[in-house]
Amino acid sequence: MQFEQRHIRKDGTSFPVEVHANYVTFQDQRMCIAMVRDITDRKKAEEALKESEIRYRTLFSEFNDAIMIAGTDGSIQQVNPAAGTLTGYSEKELCSKKIMDLHLPEDLEKVAQ
């Protein structure tokens, strides 16, 4: 079995733990062996990552300037709403294009440089 729960210290404070337990037979006796690990640091890191993701998503979606994330091959992978407003394309349409598709033909050489 593997699960997470909270344990209580002698001083009454609680902390998150991960428990790994298994039943074994030893010298004709059935026993439970459990390993308990303090996961306080992991939980703090998970919470910080979640908060960071929320801030990123909010900034990305609320930013007034167009933001486009493209792969190394120039394919557009993600855009914010402002990119759609600026270009007139939907998010789905933009994500089916490459960055170079958004430039005038006479600008392609300069953009490529």
Question: Which domains does the chain possess?
Answer: 1-62 (3.30.450.20), 64-99 (no CATH)
Which of helix, strand or coil describes residue 50? helix
Q: What is the pLDDT of residue 113?
A: 79
What average pLDDT does the chain have?
A: 95
Q: Is the pLDDT of residue 79 over 90?
A: yes
Instruction: Name every residue whose Cβ is closer than 8 Å to that of residue 52 and which is 6 or more positions away in sequence.
Output: none
What confidence tens digit (pLDDT) does each residue in 94-112 have? Answer: 999 999 999 999 988 888 7
**Would the pTM count as exceeding 0.75?**
no
For 57, the 3-state DSSP assignment is helix
Nearest to 80 by CA among 71, 69, 93, 96: 69
